[in-house]
Amino acid sequence: MNYGYLLVSLAYVAFVVAVYLFESHRTRRKGVDAISLFLALFVLQCCAAGVVIYALWPYVDPEAATGVSAFDRILRATDVVTALLVLFLTVWFAIFFYVGCAFGRLILHRPVSEPRDHIGIVMVVKQKRLLILLAGGLALTLYSFLQLGDNLLASYTHLVMYRDLAEDIERNALNANAFALTQTWSWLAVVAIFCVFEWRGWSWLLSVCMAAAVVFALLGVSRRAMFLPVLMIYLTLALHSGRWRVRWIIVSTVPLVLLVAFGKNMLAAVAYDVTVETVVESYESWMSALLRAATDIGITIVESLGTLQFLDVGLRLGTDHVLSILQRFPEKSLGLDFDFPERIVRISTAAFADAGAQDIPPGLLGQMWLDFGVVGPVIWGLVFGLQMSVIQFFFERTRRTRQSAAVFMLLVFVVALPLNTGSFDFTFSVDIIALAAVLLWCVRFRRQQLPQVHRVAKARAHLTLTSGH
């Protein structure tokens, strides 16, 4: 047994504790903020998952550890030195993320010193616009869904097969566009829930929004589609209240781990007539099931390990992120008479599995390494820190309401999307572009006069200081 992996797991534990202590000190006065949310997503995917992966890896069968051939191949080829290098890149990124946040704060303005109750900016969500869009999205999605089969069960079975790229399921412009935006409507439904929650006497509409969120999550037919709305609701509540609700995390851990470990197989059972017993017995032990859940949540760690071991390419210098934007346009549609270079996700897929497999990106830490080598975490950390400093700047100056907390949570989530894969393909996808368009149409910022009592108190304090001199 290689006890080096257990030491790596303990190193991840120490790093998570260090981040927690630093964040507790940083947010001790004002509570959870936008930067805290980003770090929570970072710790979940890049650190907490690493604790479990390296703690369990020495105890499972390396030939069938997770049930995913690409993951198992990467983990079998991993050594302690590579694992420590990924940990080093992780720590380095976090340090320079904080540096980027501090630098951005200096560029923008000094921290807000006034109490939040007297901040003069209010975020307003045009709730009727949002609800009309959600109703239209729900109608279009349900119509496309019902066209897939003669009854609900047949439609859902075909939807699972459609998402699994089955060739015998018809793909047309209607269902392609309707299902591509399912994630957009699902995330916006979370915002709608918190907007409607602030309306008095509209409890029935809150129930409708929650039901719509459940429908969108189910029609996403993936573990991600079911997991993310729950996580978003929790993060919004934490951002609104300014404190983490640790008991909620403890209570929800087991069902969410079971969802991640068995959810994909359960969906396959619906579509391909697999028995529940087969799904339950798909892992050799509970450690394999837990390892599978950890590798799915921390997929960026596993992919980064694969990048450092299997990819031998020159420095990419950020070209892959430009290609992530350009892929929104078909080749030669911009008047350019040449083909786009091969995307890094196809290169990494061929290295990890085979050229015909679905995209397997290089991972966050792996992409940093590919972009700029050992200084990759420095540049990436600064870039993400600067982005979050802008969001934090507006968050500090906006009154903390439920709807503003939901919108800021969504903004942080979009910025944090590359943490999961190291690729910006998901950031510049159609559903995120649609999400940005809806937010631009529905969200407004407006200034609010300071309360009269507060203005009088400030004037008296000024006179007192003046007379004292």
Please compute the mean of the pLDDT values over residues 289-295 and round it to a whole number: 88
Cβ atoms of residues 179 and 162 within 8 Å: yes
Classify the C-alpha dihedral 401-436-367-100 as positive or negative. negative
pLDDT at 104: 93
Q: What percent of the chain has pLDDT over 90?
A: 40
- Residues 243-291 have pLDDT tens digits of 988 888 888 888 888 887 777 777 777 666 666 666 666 777 788 888 8
Angle at the Cα of 58 from the Cα atoms of 52 and 61, rounded to 5 degrees:
105
pLDDT at 57: 87
Cα 111 from chain centre: 27
* 239 pLDDT more than 90: yes
Mean pLDDT, the chain, as a whole number? 84
Q: What percent of the chain has pLDDT over 70?
A: 86
| SS3 label, residue 124 | strand
Give CA–CA dist 51/306, Å, rounded. 18
- Top-confidence residue, 362 or 286: 362
* 462 pLDDT more than 50: no
Whether 380 is covered by a domain: the verdict is yes
pLDDT at 333: 52
**Residues making up the chain, counted from first to last:** 469
pLDDT at 453: 42
Whether 422 is covered by a domain: the verdict is yes
Whether 466 is covered by a domain: the verdict is no
Please compute the mean of the pLDDT values over residues 323-330 and round it to a whole number: 71
Whether 277 is covered by a domain: the verdict is yes
* C-alpha dist (Å) from residue 385 to 36, 196, 373, 389: 12, 32, 19, 6
* 405 pLDDT more than 50: yes
pLDDT at 461: 46
Residue 44 C-beta-side C-alpha neighbours within 13 Å = 20
Instruction: Give pTM, 2 decimals.
Output: 0.87
pLDDT at 200: 66
Please compute the mean of the pLDDT values over residues 400-426 and round it to a whole number: 91
Residue 158 in tokens: 């075909």
Domain count, the chain: 1
- Residues 189-236 have pLDDT tens digits of 999 999 888 776 667 788 899 999 999 998 888 888 888 999 999 999
pLDDT at 246: 82
Give the model's confidence band at 350: pLDDT under 50 very low, under 70 low, under 90 confident, else very high: confident
Whether 54 is covered by a domain: the verdict is yes
Give the model's confidence band at 110: pLDDT under 50 very low, under 70 low, under 90 confident, else very high: low
pLDDT at 108: 86
- Start-to-end CA distance of the chain, whole Å, equals 74
pLDDT at 468: 47
Whether 468 is covered by a domain: the verdict is no
Q: What is the DSSP string of 229-255?
A: HHHHHHHHHHHHHTS--HHHHHHHHHH
Whether 467 is covered by a domain: the verdict is no
What is the gyration radius of the CA atoms in the chain, in angstroms?
A: 24
- Top-confidence residue, 338 or 51: 51
Whether 465 is covered by a domain: the verdict is no
- Top-confidence residue, 86 or 334: 86
Domain range for 95: 4-458
